[in-house]
């Protein structure tokens, strides 16, 4: 189920997915008729309970197309007759079926396709005006929503938590660092993260995350310059292989953290 709470006018739904001995939290946010992300299909049966406690919806914005965010977009669009907006309106957001690796299908479920509208520079609701901030890194189509008057940053998967964990093969951590720098230029204080929830002192948390990434980048570059191999650097900096690396057959790995920072040329 989704546990309901509020932060000012923002309604928060917190769900938990458990599979393969792992637990992952999901946070959905709704404010002034806007729903930010829709959660995975594996929590789909609980979504109506959350939606029915919200004031009427006008639109859905997806921070990116990963299945734990877009999983129920088709359902919400159909049930509430509302448009779905996202940056990348191809693939699943253009009505095409996707095929996920089995572990992702089991954990999050495979989203139903939907037809999205392209996200512009801003999302205007009755009371608020959200700036759309492209924040690639975790995914190329990732955006954050920033409300300057309220100091809110809906950060999708930009932050994720205080530690640097395994990342997916396609992620670019240098791009993620640029995205963190871009949002840190904005005056915000409340960060609404899709997996860590509302982050107290969000600015300081994002600054710490950026610093942590910069430290890892520095270590990777230094060891690479000494002639270490990517494998040696990974073993040295991250001696323990997380469970997800085995489950995902390497799609999620600390190795990709090192590879992402590996000096080129």
Residues 183-202 that bind Zn ion (CB under 5 A): none
Q: Judged by CB, which is closer to Zn ion: 112, or 157?
A: 157
CA–CA gap between residue 265 and residue 263 (Å, rounded): 7
Would strands 129-134 and 34-36 be described as parallel, antiparallel, or unpaired?
unpaired
Q: Judged by CB, which is closer to Zn ion: 66, or 104?
A: 66
Q: SS3 for 6? A: strand
Q: Judged by CB, which is closer to Zn ion: 66, or 256?
A: 66
Six-digit token string for 156: 């999708």
Q: Judged by CB, which is closer to Zn ion: 103, or 228?
A: 103
Give least dist CB 138 to Zn ion, A.
6
DSSP character string of 174-200:
HHHHHHHHHHHTS---EEEETTTEEET
Give least dist CB 105 to Zn ion, A.
16
Helices 254-261 and 202-225, interaxial angle, to 10°? 70
DSSP state for residue 139 in the 8-state scheme: S
Largest alpha-carbon pair distance within the chain?
59
DSSP state for residue 242 in the 8-state scheme: P
Site string for Zn ion, 134-173 (x = CB under 5 A): -----------------------x----------------
Give least dist CB 80 to Zn ion, A.
23
Give the residue nearest to Zn ion (CB): 66
Give least dist CB 32 to Zn ion, A.
24
CA–CA gap between residue 132 and residue 121 (Å, rounded): 5
Residues 22-81 that bind Zn ion (CB under 5 A): 66
Give least dist CB 100 to Zn ion, A.
13
Q: Judged by CB, which is closer to Zn ion: 64, or 150?
A: 64
Residues contributing to the site for Zn ion (CB under 5 A): 66, 157
């Amino acid at each position: 189920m989704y546990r309901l709470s509020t932060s000012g006018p923002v309604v928060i739904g917190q769900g938990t997915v458990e599979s393969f001995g792992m637990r992952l939290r999901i946070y959905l946010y709704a404010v002034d008729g806007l729903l930010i992300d829709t959660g995975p299909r594996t929590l789909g049966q609980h979504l109506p309970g959350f939606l029915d406690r919200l004031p009427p919806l006008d639109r859905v914005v997806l921070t990116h197309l990963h299945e734990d965010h877009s999983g129920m977009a088709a359902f919400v669009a159909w049930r509430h007759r509302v448009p779905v907006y996202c940056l990348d309106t191809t693939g699943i957001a253009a009505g095409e079926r996707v095929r996920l690796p089995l572990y992702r299908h089991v954990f999050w479920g495979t989203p139903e396709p939907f037809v999205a509208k392209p996200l512009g520079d801003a999302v205007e609701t009755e009371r608020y005006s959200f700036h759309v901030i492209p924040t690639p890194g975790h995914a190329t189509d990732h955006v954050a929503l920033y409300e300057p008057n309220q100091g809110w940053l809906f950060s999708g998967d930009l932050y994720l938590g205080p530690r640097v964990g395994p990342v997916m093969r396609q992620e670019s951590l240098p791009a993620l660092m640029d995205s963190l720098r871009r949002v840190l230029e904005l005056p915000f204080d409340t960060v609404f993260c899709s997996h860590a929830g509302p982050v107290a002192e969000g600015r300081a948390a994002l600054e710490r995350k950026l610093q942590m990434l910069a430290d890892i980048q520095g270590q990777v570059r230094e060891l690479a310059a000494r002639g270490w191999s990517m494998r040696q650097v990974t073993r040295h900096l991250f001696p323990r292989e997380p469970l997800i690396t085995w489950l995902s057959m390497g799609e999620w790995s600390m190795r990709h953290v090192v590879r992402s920072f590996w000096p080129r040329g």
